[in-house]
Every structure is written in structure tokens, then in C-alpha cells.
Amino acid sequence: MSKTILITGGAGFIGSHVVRLMVNKYPDYQILNLDALTYAGNLENLKDIESCSNYEFIRGDITDMEAVNRIFREYRPDGVIHLAAESHVDRSISDPLAFIRTNVIGTVNLLNAARDVWHEKPDDKRFYHISTDEVYGSLGNTGFFTEETAYDPRSPYSASKASSDHMVRAWHHTYNLPFVISNCSNNYGPNQFPEKLIPLAINNIKHKKSIPIYGKGENVRDWLYVEDHAAAIDLIFHRGKNGETYNIGGNNEWTNIDLIRKICQVMDKALNREPGDSEKLITFVKDRAGHDKRYAIDSSKLMTELEWKPSLQFEEGIEKTVKWYLDNEEWMNDVISGDYAKYYSRQYDNR
């Protein structure tokens, strides 16, 4: 094996697409997937590659310092792609400490372990921290987040991610730890946990349940197909410059209400329902506390320096996504059979 790459959070939504890409594209790399399998982690996401000889799953929690140190000493990874996180804003509002534990303390455990095993020969090593555009705060009707935009996180989730970004940079300046960071906009696609807007809407439309839209549905997000994010991660991991940050976005802004109307149209067609049927399910509910108005990413640095561009237009991406969820009913049923019902009623019943 030419390299050992430790991917954290590889059983989650984005992580599973990154693991699959790496395992298939680099047969001479040993790909380790370190994941605690929280409610968001699901090994079903990786069924197609689980028996590949260059892949190994390690169940472990990044908040467990001893376990993290042991894994680094045993496997001595050449690179880390760190995706493990608590990732849902609404959950961060009801339980902020879980986000501090995993996103901040967990990240510091990984940084310390990498520093300790890499200190003699750091030059060919790389700690790649996957972050979010939410660290930059909220935009008005115009403008874009660039890599120079000052951090202004406004939810417990984004504050925990911003904090972890600062930790990564501090470990670079203080301990010479080689790193890259990327900050990406909203992802969509197969295998996303249905607490997030798009899979939640698809699942509710399918079952003719109401589609909850926070506030007036005027908030804007910039949507990127998850495999395009995974491709950007591959590029940045291999060709990004040490110590640099790259923004990744879809250049694809939608208000939530327009996005949901679009999904309703695609679903009506896919399910042979009358045009307009699904839109009747739209229900405006109490707004998210501190709801960021608009995110929009300027990815020109990544596009110019590393020649990345999204491969899919939104029209095609959303049709593919709807089709995936409709074709993978068993995946959805497994995911919502556990604690999901309790979460759903806690989150939505009093709105």
C-alpha cells in the first residue's frame, strides 16, 4: 500500500461518498474509516465497497483520546480526511454540548494524535479538515463568502465548526502540522439523513405528510451535489497547498420555498400524481432560532487553482436524488425505524 488515509465520519452522508471514491479510485491506498456510528452513521451506505481489500472500518469515537492515540500509533496514517461531526443545526440548538464534544474536543484529539506521530517527518503528511460555509455567518441579499471573509458563526453548530477550524490553524502555526481546510455549502444527494431539508421533504411527500418550512421559506442556501463535493475533496487532498483554505459551492442558490416547490414538481412526476398535488403539503412552521438568512459561496479559488467544477446541473442532480430515495425505500425505512420518530415529534410537533 502506497499510503494509509484515515477518514473520520466515513459512515455518514458525505463521508460515505468520500470513502467510496477513495477506495475505488486508489486501490493502492489503505483507506481506514473511523466512525462512532452515531444516529447519523450507517454502514449500509458502504455496502458496495465493504469487502474491498484496501478498506477497513474501525468503530471508534473521536472524543475518546486514548482510542484516537492508539489508532494513530497502530496505523500511522499518512493523511487524515476529517469529516466526523455533529452536523445538524437544529440538534445543536437543543443540545450544544454534544457539538462542542465531537466537533471541538474530537478534532483536538485528532490534531494531537497526528502531531505526535508525525512530528519527526511532517512534510509528506496532511491533515484535511472538512468544514462548512456556516462559519462565515449570514449574508444579506447580495455578496458571496470568500476565503477572506471574517468568521461570524451564529449557531452552536457553526460556532463549534469555526472553533475546530481555528484549532487546525493553531496546530499548524504552533506545531508545524500540515493542513488544508475546505468550507463547503449545502450538500444534497443519496444517503443523507432525513433530518435535513431535502430528504425530509422527499420522504414526507412520498407519505403525503406535511412539509415543514421554517418561517416564510425565504432563507437561501447554495446547493451542491454530494459527489461533486467528494470530487473536490479528492482534488484538495492531493493538490491543495499546505496551509490553505478552499471554498466549495454549487453556485446554485435557492430560497427554501422555491426549492421545495421544485422538489414537489419532480415528485409529482415521479409518483404519477396530479401536478400541484404535493405542493398542498407545504406547511409554514415556527422559524429556526437565529436562522441564517443566506449562504452563497465564491469557489473561484478552487476553480482557478485546482480546475474543479461541479459536474451536475441542479435539474439533473435533484432528479437523480429523488429517484435514489424512491428506489431505496429499505434504506429510508431502516434509517427512520430507530429514534427518528421521537426526534421528529420533539422537533416538529409543537411548531
3-state SS, residue 168: helix
Instruction: Specify the residue for cell string 476529517.
Output: 82
Cα–Cα nearest to 140, from 251, 249, 219: 219
The catalytically annotated residue of 133, 147, 222, 228 is 133
- Say which entry of ligand DAU, ligand NAD, none residue 214 contacts (CB below 5 to 8 A, set by partner kind): ligand DAU
Cell (9 digits) for 255: 430560497
* Stretch 291-330: interaction string toward ligand DAU, x if CB under 6 A: ----x-----------------------------------
Tell me: does residue 132 bind ligand DAU (CB under 6 A): yes
Please report, for residues 90, 258, 272, 292, 325, the alpha-carbon distance to residue 156 in angstroms, rounded to integers and kept in the order given. Answer: 9, 27, 41, 12, 30
Told to judge if 244 belongs to the known catalytic residues of this protein, a careful annotator would answer no
DSSP state of 289: T
Count of residues that interact with ligand NAD, criterion CB under 6 A? 30
User: Using CA atoms, how far apart are residues 201 and 29, in angstroms rounded to an integer?
Assistant: 38
Site string for ligand NAD, 147-166 (x = CB under 6 A): --------------x-----
Is position 130 an interface residue for ligand NAD (rule: CB under 6 A)?
A: yes
Q: Can residue 179 be called a binding residue for ligand DAU (CB under 6 A)? A: no
Cα gap 16→9, rounded to integer Å: 8
146 SS3 class = coil
Report 99-128 residues binding ligand NAD (CB under 6 A).
102, 106
> Phi and psi at residue 276, in whole multiples of 5°?
95, -15
**Nearer residue to ligand NAD within complex by CB, 281 or 335:** 335
Residue in the block written with cell 454502514: 43
Dist CA 41 CA 54 (whole Å): 21
What the block records as the C-alpha cell of 138 is: 449570514
- Decide if 258 is catalytic: no
32 binds, among ligand DAU, ligand NAD, none (CB under 5 to 8 A by kind): none
Residue 87 interacting with ligand DAU (CB under 6 A): yes
Taking CB atoms, the residue at the shortest distance from ligand DAU is 132
Q: Which residues pair with 59 in a beta bridge?
A: 35
Residue 219: name its binding partner from ligand DAU, ligand NAD, none (Cβ under 5 to 8 Å by kind): ligand DAU
Task: For residue 64, indicate whether it is catalytic.
Answer: no
Angle at 160 between CA 154 and CA 163, to 5 degrees: 100
User: Contact with ligand DAU (CB under 6 A): which of 35, 134, 227, 253?
Assistant: 134
Residue with smaller CB distance to ligand DAU, 101 or 288: 288
User: Among residues 5, 13, 81, 135, which is the contact residue for ligand NAD, using CB under 6 A?
Assistant: 13
Strands 253-255 and 220-225 come out as antiparallel
What is the binding site for ligand DAU (CB under 6 A)?
87-89, 132-134, 185-186, 196-197, 200, 212-214, 219, 221, 256, 288, 295
